[in-house]
Amino acid sequence: MSLSVEQFQQFLTQENAFIIDTRDEASFLEGFIPSSIHFKPEIIHQAAALGLLSFEQPLLFIGEHDNEKIAIAYFEKLGFANIKGWLEGGFATWLNADKRYDLVIEVEADELAMDIPFDEFLMVLDIRTEEQYNQGHIKNSIHLPLLEFADPGSMSELDEHFNIYIISEDGEANTLAASILKKEGIHNNRVVKGGWQSILQLKDKFTIEVTKEKKAKDPLDAL
């Protein structure tokens, strides 16, 4: 169902609906409705795996070029039935109504390299899988796999006094992670363009560590 700005806001305030933004990264980075989560249609299968949503959660969508309808079809197939509709005209309609919006800052890998030695509050947040992280990561980075973002205990180390730089494998999940943090009230975060792949291209500018596998204990060692 197509919704006006007024109808969209009514669902937000009265039913505490969850906003899913299905636009591309470039559009999302330039601005989005506060508390939106960025789910491109091609990674929507991660929604259920992340555990961010219940099947009863009221859902609102915002997109472009009708891709919100594709996203809605995916969510319905996954079993999400409480879908309220999408914002007619997309984010431009929201802006034209002079409504408040948020944005995510994107930085190049070389900017991160320059900031690390001089910012005592800088935190590199690596959201890749454990296997990827163990194969190589920036020294002193914090590892929080994306699949653990729905666990409040996992986020206990993160707060607003850190300058958080998010690194995914190739940059594809950056905005998803950043939008989740913002929804949780952690707004002081940036995303590293190109993710870990861009770090590797400038690896001489970073101190990269590899996690050594723990050697299994030999029962004979105790004798």
Mean pLDDT for the chain?
89
Q: Check: CB of residue 175 under 8 Å from CB of residue 105.
A: no
Residues pairing with 59 in the sheet: 18, 83
111 confidence band (pLDDT: 50, 70, 90): very high
Q: Where are the domains of the chain?
A: 2-96, 105-209
Q: Is the pLDDT of residue 215 over 60?
A: no
Architecture in CATH for domain 105-209: 3-Layer(aba) Sandwich (3.40)
Letter string b/e over residues 46-62, b meaning 16 or more CB atoms within 10 A of that residue's CB: ebeebebbeeeeebbbb
Query: For position 42, what pLDDT does the model report?
Result: 66
Distance from C-alpha of 87 to C-alpha of 64, rounded to nearest angstrom: 10
User: Which pair of tokens denotes residue 46?
Assistant: 């991660």
Query: For position 172, what pLDDT does the model report?
Result: 84
Query: For position 223, what pLDDT does the model report?
Result: 45
Query: For position 6, what pLDDT does the model report?
Result: 96
For 2-96, which CATH superfamily applies?
Rhodanese-like domain (3.40.250.10)
Residue bearing the bigger pLDDT, 205 or 65: 205
Distance from C-alpha of 88 to C-alpha of 3, rounded to nearest angstrom: 5
Backbone angles phi, psi at 18, to 5 degrees: -95, 125
Closest among 211, 150, 152, 139 to 176, alpha carbons compared:
150
Q: pLDDT tens for residues 145-160? A: 988 887 767 777 787 7
Distance from C-alpha of 18 to C-alpha of 39, rounded to nearest angstrom: 12
Q: pLDDT tens for residues 61-93? A: 999 988 888 888 888 888 888 999 999 999 999
Query: For position 47, what pLDDT does the model report?
Result: 61
